[in-house]
Amino acid sequence: MNTLSTQELISKLEKTNAILIDVRPIAAYNGWALQNEQRGGHIPGAKSIPMQWTQYMDWVEVLEEKSISRDQPVVVYGYDENQSNEMYTKLIDLGYSDVEIYTNFVEEWAGNSDLPLNQLPRYKHLVYPEWIKNLIDGQQPPHFNNDDYVICHSHYDHIEDYHKGHIPGAIPVDTNSLESTETWNRRLPEELQETLQKLGIRHDTTVVIYGRFSSPVYNEEKFPGKSAGHLGALRCAAIMLYAGVEDIRILNGGITSWETRGYDLTTEEHHPTPVEDFGKEIPGNPEYMIDTPEAKQLLASNKGELVSIRSWEEFIGNRSGYHYIEKKGRIPGAIFGNCGSDAYHMENYRNFDHTMREYQEIASAWKEGGITPDKHVAFYCGTGWRGSEAFMNAWLMGWPKVSVYDGGWFEWCNDPENPIETGEPDQSVLKNV
């Protein structure tokens, strides 16, 4: 086993095609300084493969997905030398022949401001289980300077999901309270204000939000969305940002990450304390949601893109994706953003533990499809959930002008004046994120 010094690592990265594997938790990779290191983040170019993932049977597939081949040099680093050694052993057992270890990340790399570190620009809004545990235990989690917070357990007309177990102190939030059950668009400003005030949320309240992941089966469930709680949570987060909530915190991986960490759930109900005033005019960020006229302007502009966060079968018109939408097809001119298998899954935007996928991978795939941060990018799907999750990814990356096309396919196809395309498009499309 060969251990590299900092200078040897720098030289290796300059002279070879070595791949770095960061075995720390995803939160550390994104930017959280979990071991009180001087700076948070990861070495540029590193791939995130937390040691925790190796507990799963199919973790080896991640190496292939991240294009870490056996015939190229690999360097492993993390917080704990023992964990790095463990990953080294696993890689050698898998047939990787050129594997080395870097053990001075905290002291020498993170501790030296002259060496580069990359971060998810808004990593502070993507929190981890221990952060919430500190919050509810009355401690001061990092990057939190507020005495007003609300933890939200998102569900779609399925309060039983909350009752069967939630994070202590969390209140239930029905997605129906934030979006219309007729159009599935965000509710009117006065309705949003009423909902948020009932939930005890002002514009300056820190809102921590999460949901429960399960795997709904479209053909077997009348309302598959009731089983897609964490997807609904990201929809709620996008609408709250639109309304003007200034500090949204998303639990990365939803309630699954809380349970995986070994923390207890409770069935004890927690009721919100309503507030009398939201504190600012709604919407506070109207640019985060656009409607059909603005979507058409984007389609006609060379400075914007409309991105379809739908499955391939929906995009080419083989299925509508929803029990309540009959028409099939796509909006002409929209770019395929490839959510995953169907309307209730986002496999291409998540890791197999349901955390958000490494942000550079998403940005790189988007770039191949012409989706870049120099444009106004609006994401849409059928009714807003998947589009909201893609929007939240771009927002966390700090993209300057991103929106959700709120009406999506549901609104577009219900207007007979709007054109529809089916079949495979002529231009190349983004097949995989």
- Which positions are catalytic? 381
Please give the backbone phi and psi of residue 173, each rounded to the nearest 5 degrees, phi first.
Answer: -130, 115
First to last CA, the chain: 35
SS3 category, 87: helix
Supply angle C-alpha 60, 65, 66, rounded to 5: 100
- Contact between residue 18 and residue 12 where contact means Cβ atoms under 8 Å apart: yes
Residue 398's nearest CA partner among 167, 166, 120, 161 is: 120
What gap in Å lies between CA 101 and CA 98, rounded to an integer?
10
Q: What are phi and psi of 247, to 5 degrees?
A: -135, 90
What is the SS3 assignment for 233-289? HHHHHHHHHHHCCCEEEEECCHHHHHHHCCCCCECCCCCCCCCCCCCCCCCCCHHHE
Give strand pairing partners of 21: 47, 76
Contact 432, 348 (CB under 8 A): yes
Element (H, E) at 15: helix 6-15
CB atoms within 10 A of CB 18: 17
Establish how many alpha carbons lie within 13 A of residue 293's alpha carbon, considering only the half-sphere containing its beta carbon: 0
85 alpha carbon, distance to own chain's centre: 30
Cα–Cα distance for residue pair 133/259, rounded to 1 Å: 12
What is the DSSP secondary-structure string of 106-137? IIIITT-TTS--B--TTGGGEE-HHHHHHHHT
